[in-house]
Chain A
Amino acid sequence: MSASLEQTGFDIARIRADFPILSQTVHGKKLVFLDSGASAQKPRAVIDAMVRSMETRYANVHRGLHWLSERASDDYEAARDKVAAFLNAAREEIVFVRNATEGINLVAATFGRSALQPGDAVVVSEMEHHANLVPWQMLRDSHGIDLRIVRITDTGELDFADLERQFADGRVRLLAITHMSNVLGTYTPVERLAAFAHERGARLLLDGAQAVVHRAVDVRAIDADFYVFSGHKLYGPSGIGVLFGKRELLDAMPPFLGGGDMIRSVSYEKSTWAEPPYRFEAGTPAIVEAVGLAAAIDYVNAIGFPAIAAHERALTDHALATLDAIDGIHVVGRAQDRGGVVAFTMDGVHAHDVATLLDKQGIAVRAGHHCAEPLTHRLGLDSTARATFGVYTTMEEIDALAKGLRRVQQVFGG
């Protein structure tokens, strides 16, 4: 571990001890988990918080007049406060959803159908996860918006000249862009994108599913209009995610789903809607999962984002240098500002075969198009293998990956 990491107090052994699953063996080999970008493992603190919630403080929220319901409601709303502080937002601007995907779908279905008129344009990039492409295609087909795709450069960065062209006719009302590519590892220049969009009368939605794990996110400093992320990539549980929306935007948006909890008054004839964020949280929410997410935020805050970012930087540098040194391995994405998502190809070997042969050695990576099929084709590829890093990832695990890849090459006669 580098000196700079020691100075930040980053104790990798202690962190790894916090994650019970990491001590397992797989196929008789020490587990090397390099698939945190798909979903991260859970620290003991998150597991315990959820168990405690179910064992001692669980009932439905916002309804009961009894002690347990008050405790559960307190915990659920405390989780909202925690997320609000995490993003530097107000609590009224934090909507709990199932995941980042649902957050984007919510914006497409509500903001998209109320603030956007047929003929208005939405711009996404070539490097979006399907979650930030398909909902806009659906809105295009049902509501008549124009969907435009801004190009990326061959190094995997946004092409600002093309972005200018996409905005040239003044019809763009929303720029919906990833904060960090789940294939290329590219961080997008979000403050610049916000200024760019706002100067041209458009709003900015950021898909933070990957980025929020690696960097402190301040939606005020960015001046984002919408920001979404998933709990499960941030060492929290699946089934809980977050949509941040600026207060005035949420205020003007119609509900997403109808049902309990999202209403002000209901009669047989008509209903009126609750204020945000409750307007967008129909039905019993993910109560225990919200508690788990709050514990996950406490966990990463305790480590601190300066230390997390430095650790990730060191891992990424080591991974790029190590993989580049192997003949026949080609890392995809060479952005200046890139993080701990490293996708690659191996000459003569399909990514699925790479992943299976690594799995036999206890090394978990993802292979395929990573829910970014158009991007994979844009790169001229059918599939890639992908290693992604978390707070618990070690330099030795990257070395194990490199060794594992050389064995794959041996099996394939390289």
Chain B
Amino acid sequence: MSDAADVGDLYQRLIMDRARAPLHAGRPAAFDAEAEGDNPMCGDRVQLRLSCSGGAIGEVWHETRGCAICIASADLMADAVTGRTRTAANELAGAFETMVASGAVPDREDFTELRALSGVHEYRSRHRCATLPWQALRAALTKTMETGHGG
């Protein structure tokens, strides 16, 4: 139905797939850092846990209570930051937040999947849904610095 496609242009297949069946959801038995992202305006919450090895992010898990955009963003983020140093992960977070704020997709390879969320730019009230997991990531990375993990 063309109308449905029209109203759903924000909700691309990748977003829907990750929202329905996230690949990185869950709570690991062991991890090196954890942090939360909360949006008190809407009740969305992301709990993020990550492991570190050799100065880089080893694995990322999230427990996300929120909308499709928030869950998909958390899950795609987990893909994108795995294997990165803290500095590189923070840089990626900045680039993602800039994309949401500006609507412009950065011309770089690591945005092949993250670009699926660029449509959020059109919905100002939803920006926070997309950036909340990244805010939790920044907080978790700060903790890895405090505990001596991460690069």
Contact = CB atoms under 8 A, between A and B. Distances in A.
B42 A357 contact: no
Contacts of B10: 356, 360
Contacts of A179: none
Nearest to B7: A360
B27 interface: no
Interface in B41-79: 41-44, 65-69
Contact of B123 (A356, A368, A382): A356
B7 A352 contact: no
A237 to B, nearest CB: 23
Contact of A369 (B43, B69, B125, B129): B43
Contacts of B43: 368-369, 373, 376, 382-383
A353 interface: yes
Contacts of A407: 1, 3-4, 7
Given A349-B68, A353-B68, A411 B8 contact: yes
A292 B65 CA distance: 42
Contacts of B69: 352-353
A306 to B, nearest CB: 38
Which of the four size classes fits the interface of chain B?
20 to 34
B145 to A, nearest CB: 32
A74 to B, nearest CB: 42
B101 interface: no
Nearest to B1: A410
B109 interface: no
Given A369-B42, A382-B65, A412-B16, A352 B8 contact: no
Given A373-B43, A382-B43, A360 B129 contact: no
A9 interface: no
A130 to B, nearest CB: 11
Contacts of A376: 43
A353 B65 contact: no
A348 B65 CA distance: 12
A350 interface: yes
B11 interface: yes
Interface string A359-377: 1110000011100010010
B42 A352 contact: yes
A4 B62 CA distance: 55
Contacts of A380: none
B6 interface: yes
A376 B4 CA distance: 30
Contacts of B44: 352
Interface string B115-151: 0000000010110010000000000000000000000
Nearest to A361: B7
Q: Which of A350, A382, A413 has the most CB of B within 10 A?
A: A350
A413 B16 CA distance: 9
Given A357-B8, A360-B6, A383 B42 contact: yes
Interface string A374-414: 00100000110000000000000000000000011011110
Interface in B14-31: 16, 20
A348 B20 CA distance: 8
Contacts of A357: 7-8, 11
Interface in A182-235: none
A136 B123 CA distance: 36
A371 B140 CA distance: 29
Interface of B: 1, 3-4, 6-8, 10-11, 16, 20, 41-44, 65-69, 123, 125-126, 129
14 contacts: A350-B68, A351-B67, A353-B69, A356-B10, A361-B7, A369-B43, A376-B43, A382-B65, A383-B43, A407-B1, A407-B7, A410-B1, A411-B7, A411-B11
Interface of A: 348-353, 356-357, 359-361, 367-369, 373, 376, 382-383, 407-408, 410-413
Please list the 10 inter-chain residue pairs (A to B) with the smallest Cβ-Cβ separation, ordered nearest first.
A411-B8, A350-B67, A352-B67, A360-B7, A410-B4, A368-B42, A353-B67, A353-B68, A407-B4, A369-B43
